[in-house]
Amino acid sequence: GSSPWQTLRDVQLPLALPTIMTGVNQTLMMALAMVVVASMIGVQGLGQPVLKAIANQYFTLGLFNGFAIVGVAIIFDRISQAFGGRLQQSREAAHG
């Protein structure tokens, strides 16, 4: 038999890791989506230039700033997926 801690560490967490990493990924994406919404109430950050461009009808500037936020989202997405993949591979290698 194994202790509850060993069961958690060696069985349950490795099986749940893909789902946990999906949750982390979705949380990052939602946080980035909220930067424009937060700028509507006066919060400084990435969303402020997008909101100013929209308010002043600078389509190109708004598009450029929007693409910058999308670029950051893609980078975070790739990093979190790579991190999850490495964790999964190291777990599989450790347990043969």
How many domains in the chain? 1
Residues 48 and 42: their CA atoms lie apart, in Å, by: 8
60-89: b (≥16 Cβ within 10 Å) or e: eebeebbeebeeebeebeeebeeebeebee
DSSP string, 31-88: HHHHHHHHHTTT--STHHHHHHHHHTT-HHHHHHHHHHHHHHHHHHHHHHHHHHHHHH
Range of the domain at 25: 4-94
User: How does pLDDT run along the chain (96 residues), one tens digit per residue?
Assistant: 899 999 998 889 888 888 898 898 899 888 888 877 787 777 787 778 888 888 888 888 888 888 888 888 899 889 988 887 787 777 677 766
pTM, full prediction? 0.67
